[in-house]
Amino acid sequence: MRLSTNESEILVEVWSSLKQHIATKDKNDAAEGFVQTLLGSGLDIDNIYEEFYGLDNYLDRALNLVAEFEETEDDEDEWLEEEWDE
């Protein structure tokens, strides 16, 4: 599922307003939770990355972690498929 421009703007505003009330030491965890919530709602990681990357260092870190994890999972899946094919 893709975000509309209006939905993206609302979510950026939500994150920005919430972030102000989160202790600095907890912001990385909060950003990861925010990104995981977006993914859990059925949004596409590529769309989330496209809409949110570059807006905030905490979100950037969380997005990079998720993208790295997804890439690792894809690599593992490919490896398993190749092993079963042999």
Q: What is the mean pLDDT of residues 54-80?
A: 75
Q: What is the mean pLDDT of residues 47-72?
A: 86
**pLDDT per position as a tens digit, 1-49:** 888 889 989 999 999 999 999 999 999 999 999 999 999 999 888 889 8
Predicted model pTM? 0.76
Report the alpha-carbon distance of residue 26 to residue 48 in Å, rounded.
21
* Residue 55 pLDDT exceeds 80: yes
Residue type, 10: I
Domain ranges in the chain are 5-85
**Which tokens is 19 given?**
């972030």
